[in-house]
């Protein structure tokens, strides 16, 4: 018996990626595909890669067009999800790819996003300890931000095992430009982006900073503090996060590596690479995977963890489908590629 789904914000990048994955899901029937300004146009005009759905016409994003589906995915600009969600009953599972319901603390919301805090939904990172069970049967899910997903998965085993000083975490994450969305802006033009790398949101002001800290804090004995810097680089997809922290005095490389081996031994989508092999984003392109490697810098005493992920797949739409699978009692891994598209 199929799960019927609607995708709101279907003409954007997250919406397109949701439909790419959902179109291959054997237990899903795709219902309404909705948009704002693009309502009335064919999906294929925005996503010519979605061949089987190309003729679908985008309808207006409203509670009415979305109601009546088993699952509604929201891929809307920040701040728009709450209004829609409150009009959808608990018989509809709502999975929000936006930020509206990610942060637990109203203060952090106000500081980093501004406006009124809409609240917090079950957080869609099944790889957090115990989180998988909270997502089973959930009616509302807040899909994590892309940087928080990869940074959290990169740092959690070391933090949780007390192997690093969690008050001095440093994350520098390079990202492709699809993470910035499809709304046209001059600094995201191809001619600006190609051949250039640039940092932004420097100095702890990027909105994903409190989300990373929120994820790690419950597993740390000490206060968690993350210095986070995102860097735009010339690629469409992919995040490579370089994470580091001072190692605890007692810890050594073997302990560090072992912590990651144990943490992710049974995780279907998080893979510690063989020693000597370093992650590259291309290997995760279009896949729901995170690839990790760890090192101990003997000279400086810092643990360095590098993680690669596709920001649109495991970083957004893949995570959303994974959460849907859990929420609706389907097999967690269904329709989620383990194999990337490379080169």
Residue from 116, 300, 329, 331 touching its own copies (CB under 8 A): that is 300
Query: Shortest Cβ distance from residue 29 to its own copies (Å)?
Result: 16
The binding track of 11-40 with respect to its own copies, each residue x by CB under 8 A or -, is --x--x---x--xx----------------
Comparing C-alpha atoms, which of 211, 325, 343, 208 is closest to residue 268? 325
Select the span of 28-36, 47-55, 87-95, 155-163 touching its own copies (CB under 8 A): 47-55
Q: Counting contacts by CB under 8 A, is residue 204 touching its own copies? A: yes
Q: Counting contacts by CB under 8 A, is residue 297 touching its own copies? A: yes
Say whether 323 is catalytic: no
Half-sphere exposure of 312 (CA within 13 A, CB side): 25
Please report, for residues 158, 222, 251, 288, 331, the alpha-carbon distance to residue 335 in angstroms, rounded to integers and kept in the order given: 30, 39, 39, 10, 9
* Residues numbered 156-175 forming contacts with its own copies, rule: CB under 8 A: 168, 170, 172, 174
Q: What span, in angstroms and rounded, lies between the C-alpha atoms of 25 and 147?
A: 26
Comparing C-alpha atoms, which of 161, 303, 333, 316 is closest to residue 243? 303
Q: Counting contacts by CB under 8 A, is residue 316 touching its own copies? A: no
Q: Counting contacts by CB under 8 A, is residue 273 touching its own copies? A: yes
Query: Shortest Cβ distance from residue 192 to its own copies (Å)?
Result: 6
Residue from 81, 284, 316, 325 touching its own copies (CB under 8 A): that is 284
Number of Cβ atoms within 10 Å of the Cβ of 244: 23
- Contact predicate 31/4, CB 8 Å: yes
Q: Counting contacts by CB under 8 A, is residue 132 touching its own copies? A: no
Enter the DSSP assignment of 56.
P
Q: Counting contacts by CB under 8 A, is residue 131 touching its own copies? A: no
Residues identified as active-site? 146
């Amino acid at each position: 018996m199929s799960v019927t789904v609607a995708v709101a914000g279907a003409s954007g990048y997250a919406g397109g990626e949701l439909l790419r994955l959902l179109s291959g899901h054997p237990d899903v029937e795709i219902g309404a595909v909705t948009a704002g300004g693009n309502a009335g146009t064919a999906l294929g005009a925005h996503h010519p890669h979605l061949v089987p759905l190309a003729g679908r016409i985008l309808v207006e994003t409203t509670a009415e067009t979305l109601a009546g589906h088993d699952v509604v995915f929201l891929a809307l600009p920040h701040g728009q999800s709450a209004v829609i969600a409150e009009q959808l009953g608990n018989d509809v599972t709502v999975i929000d790819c936006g930020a509206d319901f990610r942060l637990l603390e109203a203060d952090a919301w106000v500081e980093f996003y501004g406006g009124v805090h809409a609240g917090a939904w079950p957080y869609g990172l099944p790889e957090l300890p115990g989180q998988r069970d909270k997502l089973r049967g959930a009616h509302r899910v807040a899909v994590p931000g892309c940087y928080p997903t990869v940074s959290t998965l990169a740092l959690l085993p070391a933090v949780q095992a007390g192997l690093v000083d969690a008050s001095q975490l440093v994350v520098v994450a390079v990202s492709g430009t699809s993470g910035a969305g499809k709304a046209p802006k001059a600094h995201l033009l191809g001619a600006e982006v190609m051949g250039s790398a640039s940092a932004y949101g420097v100095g702890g002001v990027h909105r994903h900073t409190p989300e990373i800290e929120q994820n790690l804090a419950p597993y740390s004995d000490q206060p968690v503090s993350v210095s986070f810097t995102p860097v735009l680089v010339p690629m469409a997809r992919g995040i490579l996060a370089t994470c580091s922290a001072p190692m605890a005095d007692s810890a050594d490389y073997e302990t560090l590596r072992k912590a990651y081996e144990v943490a992710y031994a049974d995780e279907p989508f998080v893979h510690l690479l063989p020693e000597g092999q370093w992650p590259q984003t291309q290997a995760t392109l279009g896949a729901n995977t995170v690839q990790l490697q760890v090192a101990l810098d003997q000279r400086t005493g810092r643990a360095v963890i590098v993680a690669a992920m596709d920001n649109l797949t495991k970083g957004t739409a893949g995570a959303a489908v994974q959460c849907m699978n859990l929420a609706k009692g389907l097999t967690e891994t269904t329709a989620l590629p383990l194999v990337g598209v490379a080169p």
